Amino acid sequence: MTDSVTIRTAQRDDVAAIAAMFAQDTLGGHGDSDDPADLPDYLAAFDRIAASPNDSLFVAVRDGEVVGTFQTTLITSLTGKGSLSLTIEAVHTRSDMRGHGIGQAMINHAIEQGRASGVRLIQLMSNATRHDAHRFYQRLGFSQSHLGFKMKLR
């Protein structure tokens, strides 16, 4: 049950709430912060995302509060005869709002965006330690098909 959640494009005024959700994440290890001194970094990133024709940042709103967020990126590849894919990134539901269907509403919105854009494939990555998230994505129809690699440069 979604408890009347609305998914919409994120606005600049949402950035502090999004950063606060990321700062609550103890598993991600991204070094996020809800310190107001760090807000300019988040706002600069928001501006880059908003200016990109291939990136979209969304929020889930319930009772006027931001309770979730995710980002999508459209990627054109020469593989698959020049196919288009959609990557879902930074899916996060506010910790006190989990179990209310918000994550499912966000993923369903991303899937519909992919369908409307004519993508061949929707993909996402999840931290290897997030076993609950893996079960959630599998329940929604995603399959674990690849092994991911990362290299941190800073």
Dump pLDDT digits (tens) for 9-48: 999 999 999 999 988 876 666 677 788 888 999 999 999 9
Strand order in the sheet with 121-124: 6-9, 55-62, 65-76, 84-93, 121-124
Give the C-alpha separation, 5 to 91, whole Å: 15
pTM: 0.88
Domain map of the chain by residue range?
6-139
Q: Is 94 helix (H, G, I), strand (E, B) or coil?
A: coil
- Assigned CATH for 6-139: 3.40.630.30
Structure tokens at 152: 């941190």
